[in-house]
Chains A and B, each alone.
Chain A
Amino acid sequence: MEYLLPKEEVSVVHDNDLENFLNSLGMLRKFQRGEVKCKFCKTRVTVENLHSVFPQSGAIKIVCDNPDCIRELSKLLREGTISL
């Protein structure tokens, strides 16, 4: 039955909490100064086009909402390089 189903946990951050979250990761200033680049396409990521954040090799990686970058992110998820 559905209530017994295993659940895949998806971690999310709401727009209301985004500033605090980025601040606690020490990324807010960089964001505000426009110094954050997308891991895949290297374009500037702002609050407008931010899709997700994940840790990799000791660094915080940021992904923009460009469909090609989401596609690359999905690849990493399928391969298990990053986890939900």
Chain B
Amino acid sequence: MTINVFNISLCTITIGAFGVIIYWLIHPEVVEKWAVLIYRVGYFISKHGSKKIVKHDIQGRINEFSKLLGKEIANWEPVGINVEWVKTDETATDFFRNNKLVIRMRHHSDQDKNFVMAAMVFISKSVLTKAKKYLSNNQKESLDLFIGKRLCLREKPRIAEKFFDEVFGPKTDSSNKIVELLDKYEIIDRVGIFYLVLVQELNFLGQKVFSQPRNPKIIEEVTHFINFLEGYANREIGDEAVKTEFTRKYCRCGIVIIAKSFKTKRGDTAPFIQYIKSLVDGEFENIYLIGSAKRENRAFIEKISFEVQQKFGYLEHFSKRYVARILISGKRTPVHNFLILIRSPHTIQFYDKELEEKLFGE
């Protein structure tokens, strides 16, 4: 009997420990957050370990955010950060050979500043890397700032304050164009499609365009695309006058709002399929089906997605439930929405003439 109880306890502890190890392997950022707490206690006692606090605190927070971004942007491969201390005996020759930027990190008592600086460098370099090549400086900077703002607002208020004091404030004070773009992103984000549609489409753009950097045609198209999404985000519920299709050379996407209760109640997909057929015929690459996440409506959206895949050969790329603050009688009201992105299997790649000649000699 005693042996049995002992065996059961041992088994439970082993399974529990195994579970914890698996969880930590899948979520190393959680381990890093715990490690920071332990190092802080260690530092309090021994006054050693400031570097470990700085390193793991930044890695834990940024990697967690990157993972969240990966869930919001289906076509983005999340990238983590690895904070690496330079060797203190690194000679000038090593420094030139490594050819890398070295960022100064302050003592961990000023960790909020360290975090903000590392986060902004990380976002500049790692998010939307390909698409940024083709955007204007204002477009690139405003995107980095908005994503940085979202990252810092998730953290302690002190970090957000540091970000606004040292990065956001000075940049917005000096450029009206950046402020204008940030205001547009804010509106787009209210209806929950900043990452789900805007960033996603920019990522697709970066994957299919091979052109010289800062191509004016792409810059102009992205400006129109941002305005299009702003118009959609400012749409009053039921307003059918607002454009829901965007057709330009590089970006071709349509938003199909599935919320006509009488049609969903009847379960009649035909009017939607007919409309989607016109988008397919118009060579729209990405079609976003958006509607209420209520069970009946969600099932209806899924049914439409299935039919589109069967009839037109489009593929379901991504689906997500999210909160949107939509305009109902002039007031922003939070609702639970559901989105499915269906994507054409035949996406077009663009090479500009100069590059084409260089690559293919034509």
| A-B contact list, 24 entries, CB within 8 Å | A2-B26, A2-B29, A3-B26, A5-B66, A5-B67, A5-B80, A6-B79, A7-B79, A11-B85, A11-B100, A13-B102, A14-B50, A14-B85, A16-B50, A52-B103, A53-B104, A55-B100, A60-B92, A65-B117, A65-B166, A67-B171, A73-B121, A74-B121, A77-B101
> Would B91 and A24 count as touching, CB distance under 8 A?
yes
**Binary per-residue interface labels of chain B (68-108) against chain A in the complex, 1 for a CB within 8 Å, 0 otherwise:** 00000000011111111110111110011011111111110
Interchain CB contact (< 8 A) of A14 among B54, B89, B96 = B54
B283: CB under 8 A from chain A?
no
What residues of chain A lie closer than 8 Å to B89, measured between beta carbons?
A: 20, 24
What 17 additional pairs, Cβ within 8 angstroms, besides A16-B107, A24-B90? A2-B29, A3-B25, A6-B80, A10-B121, A11-B103, A12-B104, A13-B103, A14-B51, A15-B106, A18-B104, A24-B89, A25-B95, A52-B101, A55-B99, A60-B95, A77-B121, A78-B132
> Would B88 and A21 count as touching, CB distance under 8 A?
yes
Chain B interface size, as a band, is 35 or more
Interface segment, one of B137-145, B238-246, B273-281: B137-145
Q: Which residue of A lies closest to B24 (CB)?
A: A3
**Bound complex: CA A75 to CA B104 (Å):** 18
Interchain CB contact (< 8 A) of A16 among B29, B51, B79, B144 = B51
> Would A12 and B80 count as touching, CB distance under 8 A?
no
Q: Which residue of A lies closest to B169 (CB)?
A: A67
**Bound complex: CA A20 to CA B98 (Å):** 18
> Would B174 and A68 count as touching, CB distance under 8 A?
yes
Interface segment, one of B122-130, B152-160, B201-209, B312-320: B122-130
> Would A10 and B91 count as touching, CB distance under 8 A?
no
Q: Which residue of B lies closest to A66 (CB)?
A: B170
B120: CB under 8 A from chain A?
yes
Interchain CB contact (< 8 A) of A13 among B86, B92, B171 = B86
**Bound complex: CA A46 to CA B342 (Å):** 54
CB distance from B126 to the nearest CB of A (A): 5
> Would B92 and A12 count as touching, CB distance under 8 A?
no
What residues of chain B lie closer than 8 Å to A21, measured between beta carbons?
A: 86, 88, 90, 102
